[in-house]
Chain A
Amino acid sequence: NAGVTQTPKFRVLKTGQSMTLLCAQDMNHEYMYWYRQDPGMGLRLIHYSVGEGTTAKGEVPDGYNVSRLKKQNFLLGLESAAPSQTSVYFCASSYRVGTNEQFFGPGTRLTVL
């Protein structure tokens, strides 16, 4: 089992460019999440999904969009990148929220110039 994988691992964007981060899990988990990690802020939830075809906003959703067309994949999109979106992005999945731990991907380090 690969667990949770993220593509790409690193990316540098210019302000205004767009990109999509891909998260894939092979554990048949229903729940998937996107977080961003900033120094001194811990992890903050951007968007999450409770199943294929469903998405919901988290704590800091502005400037991001997501899609969950397949159960195993969760995409995070930045339509017009801003320097404030420079961060490390983590994807996670769980069998269900609350009772089960989340399994995290290795992270994507994004820099927006």
Chain B
Amino acid sequence: AQKVTQAQTEISVVEKEDVTLDCVYETRDTTYYLFWYKQPPSGELVFLIRRNSFDEQNEISGRYSWNFQKSTSSFNFTITASQVVDSAVYFCALSVLNFGNEKLTFGTGTRLTIIP
């Protein structure tokens, strides 16, 4: 069975501070994909990134960066120089390639509040 743990339920930081959202996953499969989604106050879920289990390179996209470490089963998300628009609930998710049992398993989310 797959499991995703986001231990940080809520985080508040002052604008322009850096913040890291933690994600720890569990799976016995060797081929899997990890995702981050953002859910702003408007409610829709917005895809941020996908990473497969064979690619441990860190990725940077503007102020966002992701650190994937298979050794610790973690896929952490860092926002640099946070802005008020970053306030949202962020979900980490895991998908395995298991024909007949394919689904995306979500963590419980981290609510990030950026204080102006």
Contact = CB atoms under 8 A, between A and B. Distances in A.
Interface stretch (A16-24, A43-51, A69-77): A43-51
A107 B43 contact: yes
**Secondary structure type dominating chain B contacts:** strand
A83 to B, nearest CB: 22
Interface string A45-65: 100101000000011000000
B91 A45 contact: no
Contacts of A104: 37, 44-45
A27 B5 CA distance: 31
Contact of A101 (B43, B50, B91, B102): B50
A42 B103 contact: no
Interface residues of A, number: 26
Interface string A70-113: 00000000000000000010101000011111111111000000
Given A44-B106, A98-B32, A98-B102, 12 more contacts: A42-B106, A42-B108, A43-B45, A48-B103, A97-B102, A98-B33, A98-B95, A101-B50, A102-B104, A106-B43, A107-B43, A107-B44
